[in-house]
Amino acid sequence: MVVLTLAAGLLYAYKLLPFTEKGEIEAGEVCSSLGPSSSVVNALKKVLPEESSYSFDENARLRVDVTDTTYESSCFVSGGGKQLLVMEARMMEDEPAESWTQWVKGTAANETSTKSVTPFTAGEKAVASSRFAAIFVPCTSVGKAPGGQYNLSVSTELKQAGNVGDAAMRDELIKLTRTASSHTHAKAKCDMKSQIND
């Protein structure tokens, strides 16, 4: 046994076996749309699989003033040649919680991510599973919408999971989505109470 361990150590040291070095998630590289990087990095380390490196790609269409009803942002996290996680946020007209839930579940790339979603308390409505979390957050009142209210729909889908259990994975996705929702609420110039942490 000692000989095997020593041999494996030597092979690793001389890079003769395909050992993968674990990549670091650098705070400065994390998408700003996910929110403050220190808390986000900790959550990402827990939910993402180990890869030799990670990359972040961010897109945004920002709201220019209080009369504007357009806000969209997305963050794509990749590693090992695969897409690992996607966060998306968009401003949309307020709608009943049930129809929003059906709509947001349809935005997931993999429908199995959303099969076992259950509610949690945040915003006007929030649902999560071990692979998906979403919050419908009050944002602003603008005359065009019925009743004048626009909300933010913020969702996080984990496409490749790490090694923690389903319950822990769900908890960390909820934390990530709460943080992204809070950041998005401020970035989108929302003037209504977010109810994210109520």
Can you give the C-alpha Rg of the chain in angstroms?
19
Q: What angle do CA 194, 195, 196 make, to 5 degrees?
A: 85
- What tokens does 22 get? 């674990």
pLDDT at 4: 46
The tens digit of pLDDT for each residue in 12-25 reads 444 444 445 678 88
In this predicted structure, the answer to whether residue 66 has a pLDDT above a threshold of 60 is yes
Q: Residue 15 has what pLDDT? A: 47
More confident residue, 147 or 33: 33
Give the pLDDT band of residue 155 (cuts 50, 70, 90). Answer: very high
Per-residue pLDDT tens over the stretch 36-47: 877 899 999 999
Written as six digits, the tokens of 145 are 């919408």
For position 138, what pLDDT does the model report?
93
Which whole number is the average pLDDT over 57-68? Answer: 83
Residue-wise pLDDT tens digits, 89-147: 999 999 998 999 999 998 888 877 888 899 999 999 999 999 999 999 999 887 554 55
The pTM for the full model equals 0.84
What average pLDDT does the segment 63-89 reach? 89
Strand partners, 115: none
In which band, very low, low, confident or very high, does the pLDDT at 63 lie, cut at 50, 70 and 90? confident
Whether residue 2 is predicted with pLDDT greater than 70 in this model: the reply is no
Q: For the beta carbon of residue 51, count every other beta carbon within 10 angstroms.
A: 20
Q: Which residues pair with 128 in a beta bridge?
A: 118, 133
The pLDDT, as a whole number, for residue 11 is 46
